[in-house]
Structure 1
Amino acid sequence: MDSNQDNFDLIWGGEEIAKIIGRTPRITFHLLEKGELPAKKVGGRWVAERGQLIRFFMGEAA
């Protein structure tokens, strides 16, 4: 995978975000609605950048 793609690897939808972070969709949607995950709503769908999600959880674990 080239580095340009790594910088712009978008995850669309709460259920897909849930898979990445290892949480249930219900918990993930709750976190998204409270603004506790690095994601935005675009056209009614949640979108997050994979690298930001990983960095967010790595920082949380540290």
Structure 2
Amino acid sequence: MEHDNDNGDLLMGANAIAVTLGITRRQAYRLIYGGMLPTFKLGGTVSARRSSLLRWLSEQESRAAA
């Protein structure tokens, strides 16, 4: 079950995470289960905070530019 909570910072499901990052769901799963994204399980559903993902993305961009 995939959920996207537009009213807050919480993203539930790989699809919501993928949309936020602008990647495919398959790429999101690869990053999630590879331990590369700041995610957690909430009731058995992979979840993340939008703010944490955007911070992670910014860090990745900074590392690539260095």
Which band: TM-score by shorter chain? 0.7 to 0.9
- Tell me the residue number matched to 1:39: 39
Measured in 2, the distance between the counterparts of 1:30 and 1:45 equals 15
Residue 52 (str. 1) matches residue 52 (str. 2): yes
Deviation at 1:34, TM superposition (A): 1.1
Structure-to-structure mapping, 1:5-44, within 5 angstroms: 9-44=9-44
TM-score, normalisation: structure 2? 0.77
Structure 1 unaligned blocks of 5 or more: 1-7
Runs of 4+ aligned structure 1 residues displaced above 4 Å come to none
Structure 2 unaligned blocks of 5 or more: 1-7
| Cα root mean square deviation, aligned | 1.1
Q: Which has the higher contact order (CA 8 A, sep 6+)?
A: 1
Deviation string, structure 1 residues 8-62 (Cα, Å, up to 9, x no partner): 6110000000000111000101110111100012222111001010000001101
Which letter does structure 1 place at the counterpart of 2:38?
P
Task: Report SS of the residue matched to 2:40.
Answer: strand
Residue correspondences, number: 55
Identity of aligned residues (%): 35
Higher mean displacement: 14-23 or 41-50: 41-50
